[in-house]
Chains A and B, each alone.
Chain A
Amino acid sequence: MAQSMERSFIAAGSIEEAVASRMVGAVVLAGGTWLMRDPLRGVELPEAVVTLHRIPFLSEVIIDADHMVIGAGVTHEALGKALRGIAGFEALVGAAEGAANPGIRRVATIGGNLCSIDFAEADLAPALLACGAAVELETTSGAKRIDIADFLNDRRALLEQAILTKILLRRDLIASAHIRLPLRKAGDYPVAIVSMALDADKCCRIAVGSVEPVARRWTALEQAFAGEPGGFPRDAERAAALAAEHNDFQGRDGTEAEGWYRLQVLPVLVKRGVAALRATEGLA
């Protein structure tokens, strides 16, 4: 049963200790729901592991009047519970409560979701892009804040030298929505994801996940929305038409869906997203 009696397994008591272990090659273990499947992918479990579960601040969600700070060790279930009912963060709640299944959501952390580098289907990535998040990394030279988009693009290199500690959000959103399309209603990875968030000036951020290898903002569509009379499409049908016109994604082929299909469904997801935004408390 044992793969190695000699495996190094450090339950870090502080973030400094965790970073020091990372610097000498230990792999971060959060909930383990991604890492523990490595043997099924033909990858051996790491020889040295550092866990984060004994570092209390990583499991906190702090919500104040203007900002929100989510610890990287917060589970999907805890995130959904903490944010449910807070206007503007419907997309994050949808992502946290719609991903995977209840047993996984009780264990899988937001940090693990964002740091699973080859996982294109991550729900929280587009939701956080739409909500305009930043992340904080702990390095040997202290904390470093960067935009979530830069983190997603550069994380392979960044995480060699750092540990993700916090996700930071401003509370300037009035409504958001997270629309995911799994092949079956439950239990599948999403084929495509559209997340949208609207601030008080009706400025809309739109992000797409699972279509390309890394989630990204749909800036062409954001600009098209802004160019509409009143700065926002008059209805969901118009939003879908704009999405079809400005579809600039390169769909990724995968076992569950081919690239062309992922592109094809985007306008419908945008339509559902705009309808969901209109149904939120902030726009009612």
Chain B
Amino acid sequence: MTVTFRLNGEDYRFRDDPMTPLVDILRQERFLTGTKAVCREGFCGACTVHVDAEAVPSCLKPVGLLEGCEVVTIEGLSAGHQALHPLQAAFEAADAVQCGMCFPGMVMSLSAFMRDNPDASRADIKAAMVGNICRCTGYERIVDTVADCLAQQLHTAKVAGGAGV
């Protein structure tokens, strides 16, 4: 079967088993190895990508359901020559990353969350991370960074709004 979808802004045509999990195509066919296959059952979040702008686990997504969809992976969030996504830059600046295994998924989940929840509380941030497991950091620095990043985002929006008055 042939399935056509957009992958990181380009058309992609897949011709094979429609029940193939998206994560396998990303890693084995497209060599987009930022997306990790860890638990393969929806618990760890390391395989999170955006499908039609929603953060979802790619290990449980059969490619047959992707016809016409827009898929973005960590590699597509900001390509090499572009500025990092503000959350990626903030994680780097805060030295929040340890082994890094969980971070592509963490960034994909939390970047979509920040876009949709600009006023999120600390508790909201923690609730949004329930499906992203990190064995190294103890989470607090990640939560701190997201909270700082959101505050910065609000401040920038306020300044931009004020400048227009």
**Contact A32 B128, CB 8 Å, known A7-B17, A106-B55:** no
A112 to chain B, nearest CB (A): 11
Do the beta carbons of B19 and A40 come within 8 Å of each other? no
Residues from chain A with Cβ under 8 Å of B56 in the complex? 103, 106-107
Interchain CB contact (< 8 A) of B17 among A4, A11, A37: A4
Interface centre among A29, A49, A103, A186 (most CB of B within 10 A): A103
Judge whether B57 and A103 touch: CB under 8 Å. Answer: yes
Check A9 against B130 for contact (C-beta < 8 Å): no
CB-based closest 3 A-B pairs:
A101-B131, A2-B17, A9-B18
Q: A1-B29, A9-B64, A187-B131 are in contact. Are A103 and B16 (CB under 8 A)?
A: no
In contact, A36 and B17 (Cβ under 8 angstroms): no
Distance of A22 Cα from B26 Cα, bound (Å): 31
Rounded to whole angstroms, the CA-CA distance of A10 and B76 in the bound complex is 30
**Interface of B toward A, CB cutoff 8 Å:** 1, 16-21, 24-25, 28-29, 40-43, 45, 48, 54-57, 59-62, 64-65, 67, 109, 113, 127-128, 130-131, 133
B57 touches A1 (CB 8 A): no
* Contacts A4-B17, A7-B1, A9-B1 given; does A29 touch B65 at CB 8 Å: yes
The complex places the Cα of A132 from the Cα of B59 at a distance, in Å, of 35
Using Cβ atoms and an 8 Å threshold, which residues of chain B touch A31? Answer: 60
- Count residues on chain A whose CB falls below 8 Å from chain B CBs: 28
Determine if A37 and B42 form an interchain contact, defined as CB atoms under 8 angstroms apart.
yes
Query: B16 to A100, Cβ gap below 8 A?
Result: no
* Contacts A3-B17, A5-B17, A7-B18 known; 7 new A-B pairs at CB < 8 A: A1-B16, A1-B24, A4-B17, A7-B17, A29-B62, A29-B64, A102-B128
- A40 with B45, Cβ < 8 A, contacts A2-B17, A102-B55 known: no
Given the complex of chains A and B, what is the CA–CA distance between A2 and B28 in angstroms? 11
Q: Roughly how many angstroms separate A43 CA and B41 CA in the complex, as a whole number?
A: 14
With beta carbons under 8 angstroms apart, the residue of A1, A2, A40, A100 that contacts B40 is A40
A158 proximal to B (CB < 8 A): no
- B18/A102 in contact, CB under 8 A: no
A58, CB-defined interface residue at 8 Å? no
CB within 8 Å for A33 and B17 given contacts A101-B45, A103-B48: no
Least Cβ–Cβ distance between A97 and chain B, in angstroms: 9
Contacts of A1 in B (CB 8 A): 16-17, 20, 24-25, 28-29
In the complex, what residue of chain B is closest to A34 when comparing beta carbons?
B60
Q: Are B55 and A32 in contact (CB under 8 A)?
A: no
Within 8 Å by CB of A37, from B28, B60, B131, lies: B60
- Of A32, A49, A102, A104, chain B has the most CB atoms within 10 Å of the CB of A102
> What would 22 A/B residue contacts be, using CB atoms closer than 8 Å?
A3-B19, A7-B19, A11-B64, A29-B65, A32-B62, A32-B65, A33-B57, A33-B60, A36-B21, A36-B60, A37-B60, A40-B41, A49-B18, A51-B64, A101-B42, A103-B42, A103-B45, A103-B55, A103-B57, A103-B131, A104-B131, A107-B60
A53 within 8 A of partner (CB): yes
